[in-house]
Amino acid sequence: MKNKKIYQSNNLLANWIFNQLLKIIRTAKKKKRLVGNLVKLYKVCDLRNTDDKKKEKLSGLIITRKKRTCCIYINFKDAPSEQIKTLIHELGHFIFWWEYEPPIIKLENLIWDALSQEQKEILFEFIRKLKITRQPK
Ligand SMILES: [Zn+2]
């Protein structure tokens, strides 16, 4: 028998979305463009909102730069589950770029609830191996 993808969830839609997230992450790892967009993933030790007076702590951030380059930052001082949620959240902003915070939070929660434990661990592995960078300006 062929080696089944044991990490998959029982939810077919969740599996489909998970595979799309992997596609973005793997393309980012290879530094290749995905339909014209370049995604860069980083983790940061202490991510703060520099637009905010109190400089409140952030879990993640996505910044669109020139030449359709999207830089995603994840605060790796957060708990692993929080970091995975942040990755899903920021990728949600990348895919559904026209949306604001509430629908993206909803999407993050829906995906989080639907993924299997193994799928979450796979996502965390990617974060674990990310390059550490400084707080973006
Ligand atoms: Zn957001």
Number of C-beta neighbours around residue 121 at 10 A: 14
Phi, psi of 134 (to 5 degrees): -90, 165
Q: Within a domain: residue 88?
A: yes
How confident is the model over 73-96, as a mean pLDDT?
97
Residue 11 has pLDDT above 80, yes or no: yes
* Count of domains forming the chain: 1
Average pLDDT estimate for 96-118: 97
21 and 13 Cβ atoms separated by less than 8 Å: no
Instruction: Kindly state whether residue 25 falls inside one of the protein's structural domains.
Output: yes
List residues, by chain if needed, whose CB lies under 5 Å from ion ligand 1.
Answer: 104
What pTM did the predictor assign?
0.92
Residue 41 lies in a domain: yes
Task: Output the CA 4–ligand 1 centroid distance in Å.
Answer: 35
pLDDT (average), residues 15-41 = 95
Looking at residue 118, what is its pLDDT? Answer: 95
Average pLDDT over residues 44-69: 90
Q: How far is the CA of 99 from the centre of ligand 1 (A)?
A: 9
CA–centroid distance, 18 to ligand 1, in Å, is 19
Does residue 7 form part of some domain?
no
Whether residue 5 has pLDDT greater than 60: yes
> Residue by residue, what is the 3-state secondary structure of the chain?
CCCCCCCCCCCHHHHHHHHHHHHHHHHHHCCCCECCEEEEEEEECCCECCCCCCCCECCEEEEEECCCEEEEEEECCCCHHHHHHHHHHHHHHHHCCCCCHHHHHHHHHHHHHHCCHHHHHHHHHHHHCCCEECCCC
Instruction: Give me the domain span that covers residue 88.
Output: 14-132
Residue at 6 is within a domain: no
The reply to whether 113 falls in a domain is yes
Instruction: Give domain status of residue 137, yes or no.
Output: no
Domain membership of residue 119 (yes or no) is yes
